[in-house]
Each structure stands twice: as C-alpha cells, then as structure tokens.
Amino acid sequence: MLRRVLLVLGAAGLLAAFVCLLAKTYAAAFYLFIMGIALTLGILFERWRYARSVNRNQGHWQATGERFMDPTSGKLVEVYYNPETGERDYQDGSVRN
C-alpha cells in the first residue's frame, strides 16, 4: 500500500514538473523533476537492490537449532549459519539440508 502511494507521489511530482515547465518556472520544474524521478526510480528498484543473495551451495551451512514462527507467513522458520562467512539464512522449517 505504501509502495503504491509513493509511486503515485513520484508520478504526481513528474506531472507537476511538466506543468511548471509549461508555465516557464524552470527552477520549480527542475526541482520537481529531480524529486519525482528519484522517488519513482527508488521505489521501482528497491526490491531488486535489497534482494537476498545467500548462496546455499557455497560453504558449510549448519543448522543452529534456532526455530521460530514467522509472524508474516505463520510458518516455522529454521536458522542456518555459515561459519566461513558469518552469513545466516532463514528457511522453511520443513526443509532440511
């Protein structure tokens, strides 16, 4: 929901920049364009940028024994640890490696 609101605000900023450009208020148009494009592109690319990048095929992953219920999905989650890199990975508790 918040993502959609922010995308609408970014698009509104770009539209307002276009209106200011037609009204020949170039400073406002420039500011609104920069803010609108930054907000829109930031929202569109944030999921790509912050995607998990754990490679379960490298290293010696060990189950830590930690298990908990994920409040979002309601599923049991098990924690794995790679002592070589210090990475932690959270997987469905029914999946075991």
Q: What is the pLDDT of residues 7-50, one digit of tens each?
A: 999 999 999 999 999 999 999 999 999 999 999 999 988 877 66
On the question of pLDDT at 80 being above 80, the answer is yes
Domain extents for the chain? 2-49, 62-90
**In which region does residue 77 sit, left (phi positive, over 0), alpha (psi from -120 to 50) or beta (all else)?**
beta
Q: What are the tens digits of pLDDT across the range 63-77?
A: 899 999 988 888 899
pLDDT for the residue numbered 46: 81
| pTM given for the model | 0.53
- pLDDT value at position 92? 82
Which residue has better confidence, 54 or 79? 79
Q: Give exposure, 43-68, as e/b (b: 16+ Cβ within 10 Å).
A: beeeeeeeeeeeeeeeeebeeeeeee
pLDDT of residue 94: 67
- The amino acid sitting at 72 is T
User: Rounded CA gap, 48 and 63, in Å?
Assistant: 28
**Residue 97 scores a pLDDT above 60:** no
